[in-house]
Amino acid sequence: AQSVSQHNHHVILSEAASLELGCNYSYGGTVNLFWYVQYPGQHLQLLLKYFSGDPLVKGIKGFEAEFIKSKFSFNLRKPSVQWSDTAEYFCAVTLTGANNLFFGTGTRLTVIP
C-alpha cells in the first residue's frame, strides 16, 4: 500500500541550529514530492516541490530538500533555523499525473529563541 512516513513527530531546536526532517515514501511508480508547512493558525503552504530534474530542490525561506530515489527519501533541510520556522511540516507525495496527495503524519518543529 502507498504510504508516506515522517519519523520525527516533534523536533525542538535552538535558533541557528541546522535542521533535517526525514520523509520516506513507498510507491512503485514515478512520483512528485512536496513539502508543505503549516504555521500556527494558518493554512498549509507549499515550501518546495520536486517533479523531475535536479534532485536537490530549493524552496522558500532557505529550505531545501533532496530526492534520493534509491532510498525513497525526500528529506527537508535548513542550515540555520529561526524562531519563525516554528510550525508543522508535512511531506506529501502524488503519483505523476494523479490528482490526490498522500500526506505524512507531519513533524512539529519548535525553535527556541
Identify which of residues 49 and 77 has a Cβ nearer to another protein in the complex: 49
Residues 45-84 close enough to bind another protein by CB under 8 A: 45-46, 49, 51
Residue 89 binds to another protein (criterion: CB under 8 A) = no
Residues contacting residue 35 through CB under 8 Å, at least 6 positions apart: 23, 46, 47, 48, 49, 59, 63, 65, 74, 76, 89, 90, 91, 92
Rounded to whole angstroms, the Cα distance separating 30 from 63 reads 23
Shortest distance, position 105 Cβ to another protein, whole Å: 4
Residues making contact with another protein (CB under 8 A): 4, 32, 34, 36, 42-46, 49, 51, 90, 92, 94, 96-106
